[in-house]
């Protein structure tokens, strides 16, 4: 059984009301690290459920999607980090070239000192290219993937 967003929300809520300082949970290809001990400021999360004291599984801060000549959207690295196509070594990649994605689907992970940020699809469409390799050091602003949005692909 895969862990869903709702499950993570429930973990967050439990953690927030508990006396625990940290949680590190690994299950079914999902890794969750939560800490109430200040520490480095995490990248701003776009998740409204996250309380400020909690470091949630991060999602990428909204990067303005860059449209290119062919109408595809460039998915940009929100910060420098190590690029991962799969939730863990040996697991199936989140997506691949030619695959369909829905808005909000995880596309890849960016790791910064063991903190994983998932990069999600800004719209539904088809992945047309994956431009970084698993384990690559990528820079802020680097194009990781391209997605052809549905409306463009249909027209």
Partner 1 sequence: MSRLFVANRGEIACRIIAAAKALDIETVAGVSAADKDSLWAKAADRTLVLGPAPARQSYLDGNLLLHAAVASGCKAVHPGYGFLSENAAFARAVADAGLAFCGPTPEQMEAVGDKLAARALACKLGVETGQASEALDDPDAAAIAARTLGYPVVTKASAGGGGRGMRIVRQEADLAAAISEAQTEAEAAFGDGRIYLEPFVEAARHVEVQAFGLGDGQVITLGTRDCSIQRRYQKLVEEAPAIALPEAARADMEAAAAKLLGAISYRGAGTVEFLWDEAREQSRFLEVNARIQVEHPVTEMICSIDLVQWQIALAFDRFEPPAELTPRGHAIEVRILAEDADFRPAPGRITGWTPPSGARVDSGFGTGCDVPPYYDSMVAKLIVAAPNRAAAVDQLQVGLSDFDVDGIATSIPFLRDIAAHDDFVANRLSTRWLEAELIPASTGKP
Q: How far is the CB of 87 from partner 1 (least distance, A)?
A: 19
- Residue 146 neighbours by CB distance under 10 Å: 20
**Nearest CA among 83, 89, 98, 88 for reference residue 136:** 83
Q: How far is the CB of 37 from partner 1 (least distance, A)?
A: 11
Q: How far is the CB of 86 from partner 1 (least distance, A)?
A: 19
In terms of CB distance, is 80 or 92 closer to partner 1? 80
Q: How many residues does the chain have?
A: 155
Distance of CA 27 to the CA centre of its chain: 17
In terms of CB distance, is 78 or 125 closer to partner 1? 78
In terms of CB distance, is 21 or 140 closer to partner 1? 140
In terms of CB distance, is 48 or 64 closer to partner 1? 64
Provide the 8-state DSSP code for 17.
Answer: H
Q: How far is the CB of 48 from partner 1 (least distance, A)?
A: 20
**Alpha carbon distance 51, 144 (integer Å):** 29
Could you list the residues that contact partner 1 (CB under 8 A)?
A: 40-41, 43, 78-82, 111-113, 115, 137, 139-142
Residue 129's Cβ-count burial label (10 Å; 0-12, 13-18, 19+) is middle
**Alpha carbon distance 122, 120 (integer Å):** 6
Q: How far is the CB of 79 from partner 1 (least distance, A)?
A: 4
In terms of CB distance, is 2 or 41 closer to partner 1? 41
């Amino acid at each position: 059984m895969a862990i869903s967003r709702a499950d993570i929300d429930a973990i967050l809520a439990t953690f927030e009301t508990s006396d625990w300082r940290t949680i590190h949970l690994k299950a079914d290809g999902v890794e969750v690290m939560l800490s109430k001990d200040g520490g480095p400021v995490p990248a701003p999360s776009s998740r409204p459920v996250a309380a400020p004291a909690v470091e949630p599984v991060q999602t990428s801060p909204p990067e303005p999607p860059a449209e290119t000549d062919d109408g595809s959207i460039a998915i940009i690295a929100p910060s420098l980090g190590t690029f991962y196509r799969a939730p863990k070594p040996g697991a199936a990649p989140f997506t691949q070239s030619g695959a369909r994605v829905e808005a909000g689907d995880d596309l890849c992970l960016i790791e910064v000192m063991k903190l994983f940020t998932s990069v999600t699809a800004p719209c539904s469409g088809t992945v047309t290219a994956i431009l970084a390799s698993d384990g690559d050091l990528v820079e802020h602003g680097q194009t990781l993937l391209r997605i052809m949005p549905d409306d463009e692909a249909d027209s």
